[in-house]
Chains A and B, each alone.
Chain A
Amino acid sequence: MNMRMNLLPKDERPLKQSQVRWEFLLGLAAFLVLGAVLTLTWVEATRVKALATVHEDALAREAVLIRQVQAVNALREEIKALESQEEVFKNILSPQDEALLALAELTAHGTSDLWIEGVIWENGQVSLAGYTRELTSLTGFLNFLAERCDEVDLRYTQPVTSGSGPSAAFHRFLVDVKGVKAHAAAEFGER
């Protein structure tokens, strides 16, 4: 049996063919790390490029949209001005007064021996002046008004005697009414 002896110091002995040198491993690792870093850098740069394109597109779209929104805002301002003008017009409208609309209804008493001399409408209140031969007719008239108004106020009655006797020939009266009910005005409207 042949015996081979390596007399070289241990550090200087050649490596076995199967043995890998640490410098090689380290070099490989460094190369892989460098490769990975460069690859990742390239990937990120590509990503940045794509994102920059998306960003630029988004900015361009935003600019277009902002112009459109400005047009919408201008439209809004114009609508505001038009609404303000409409409000001015609406505010100068006069509300229709139900008592005035129901004038025909309020005076159509159908009571015999009772006559209305005059009517004054002012601020939603109607004053009816007249005269009657019988107080019962006046009572009937007051009931008639009460069915059509919220408030009926007999302001005064004044008997008027004839020259021939003590009993009153006529009674003059003044009635104020307020709050004409809607149906009275509606009845008038249907006529």
Chain B
Amino acid sequence: MLQLSSVRGKLSWPVVLVALLFLLAAAAAVLGLWPARRQAAELSSQISMLEGREEQLLLAIGERSTLERRQQELQESLEVWAKTLPTQYDLPRVLQALDDLASSFGFTVQALEHVPLALKAGGQTGIFSLSLQLETDDTVPGYLAQLQGIFPSLHLKQVVLGYLGENRYALALQGDLEVVIVQPGAALGWEPPQVEREGTARLAAGAFGVAFERVGAFINGGVQLLGIVDMVDSRMALIAHDGEKRWVKQGDRLGSAVVTGISPNTVLLDVDGVQLKLTLGG
């Protein structure tokens, strides 16, 4: 009671005013300054975070020109691919191009067959199995190289080459033509190649011989030299061939062989590059 009365005694309007001023200052600090500082700190932090994100976004955007170039390259590349790789709808034109290529090389197409489309896993590509039989000349290597160039998706499985004689060859090809599967009605991009005979690669002359059976026919008793006579201006030989006897002179044909020379005891035959010697009594 004594203390309270003492305080009351000391309370005067200046003291109250000072106390009010302090209270006002405290209220201003609590209600104005501190929240403002807190908000400023929060905003600073958010701005800093936004600046960091902005840098990252700018980095990502900075790649745009590179990406646009890449997209352009890819689109151009795909256009080239689309022109190079046939689709499942291009088969008739592919077969025609195969025929045209053979014709440009002067080859005769004896058979050109295909198996209907087989879809591959994923359904983005499919396969036509092709088989092709040709009668060719010695430019087969050039033909094969061009074939692979024109049809880069043709996976050759087997190539069989046999010599027929007189610079003619039998060529049999088997392969899978892989095609791109497109939706019905999609624009066809494949362009049939301009088929022109290119390259001069040839098989070496004299490296090939006719099937041995044809040569063997002359050495296993199939042909016998029975006699040789000297005429005034030439020499003739009596030869038994397949059971028939006939007189031949140099240059005559004897089956698939040509008589290239007659000496007093021997007759020389040429079976398309393979030289054979028939001996009298042999």
A residues at B contact (CB < 8 Å): 23-24, 26-27, 30-31, 33-34, 36-38, 40-41, 44-45, 47-48, 51-52, 54-55, 58-59, 61-62, 65-66, 68-69, 71-73, 75-76, 78-79, 82-83, 85-86, 88-89, 91-94, 96-97, 100-101, 103-104, 107-110, 115-123, 130-131, 160, 162-165, 169-170, 172, 188, 191
CB nearest to B74 among chain A residues = A82
A75 touches B64 (CB 8 A): yes
With A51-B40, A162-B219 already in contact, the answer to whether A115 and B273 are too (CB < 8 A) is yes
In the complex, given contacts A48-B40, A120-B161, what are 12 additional A-B residue pairs having Cβ atoms less than 8 angstroms apart?
A27-B17, A30-B22, A37-B32, A82-B71, A100-B144, A104-B204, A107-B204, A109-B207, A110-B207, A116-B208, A117-B211, A191-B199
B74 touches A33 (CB 8 A): no
Of the residues A58, A163, A172, contact of B47 by C-beta under 8 Å: A58
The verdict on B234 contacting chain A, using a C-beta distance below 8 Å, is no
The verdict on B104 contacting chain A, using a C-beta distance below 8 Å, is no
Of the residues B152, B155, B204, contact of A108 by C-beta under 8 Å: B204
19 CB contacts below 8 A, A to B, read A30-B21, A30-B25, A31-B21, A33-B22, A34-B24, A58-B51, A88-B125, A88-B180, A93-B152, A101-B141, A103-B140, A107-B208, A120-B160, A131-B212, A160-B216, A162-B282, A164-B279, A169-B219, A172-B212
With A94-B153, A109-B207, A163-B221 already in contact, the answer to whether A79 and B74 are too (CB < 8 A) is yes
For A34, what are the chain B residues with a Cβ–Cβ distance below 8 Å?
A: 21-22, 24-25, 28
Measured CB to CB, the closest approach of chain B to A39, in angstroms, equals 10
The total of Cβ contacts below 8 Å across the A-B interface reads 232
Interface size class of B (residues with CB under 8 A): 35 or more
> Contact mask B18-32 → A, CB, 8 Å, 1/0?
110110110011001
Measured CB to CB, the closest approach of chain A to B236, in angstroms, equals 22
B78 touches A85 (CB 8 A): yes
For B78, what are the chain A residues with a Cβ–Cβ distance below 8 Å?
A: 82, 85-86, 89
For A116, what are the chain B residues with a Cβ–Cβ distance below 8 Å?
A: 163, 207-209
User: Considering the chains assembled together, what is the distance between the CA atoms of A169 and B140 in angstroms?
Assistant: 31
The verdict on B39 contacting chain A, using a C-beta distance below 8 Å, is yes
For A47, what are the chain B residues with a Cβ–Cβ distance below 8 Å?
A: 36, 40
B153 touches A92 (CB 8 A): yes
User: Considering the chains assembled together, what is the distance between the CA atoms of A61 and B57 in angstroms?
Assistant: 10
Measured CB to CB, the closest approach of chain B to A45, in angstroms, equals 5
Measured CB to CB, the closest approach of chain A to B204, in angstroms, equals 4
Of the residues B21, B70, B154, B203, contact of A107 by C-beta under 8 Å: B203
User: Considering the chains assembled together, what is the distance between the CA atoms of A118 and B46 in angstroms?
Assistant: 81
The verdict on B98 contacting chain A, using a C-beta distance below 8 Å, is no
The verdict on B274 contacting chain A, using a C-beta distance below 8 Å, is yes
A120 touches B140 (CB 8 A): no
The verdict on B67 contacting chain A, using a C-beta distance below 8 Å, is yes
With A44-B33, A55-B46, A94-B153 already in contact, the answer to whether A118 and B58 are too (CB < 8 A) is no
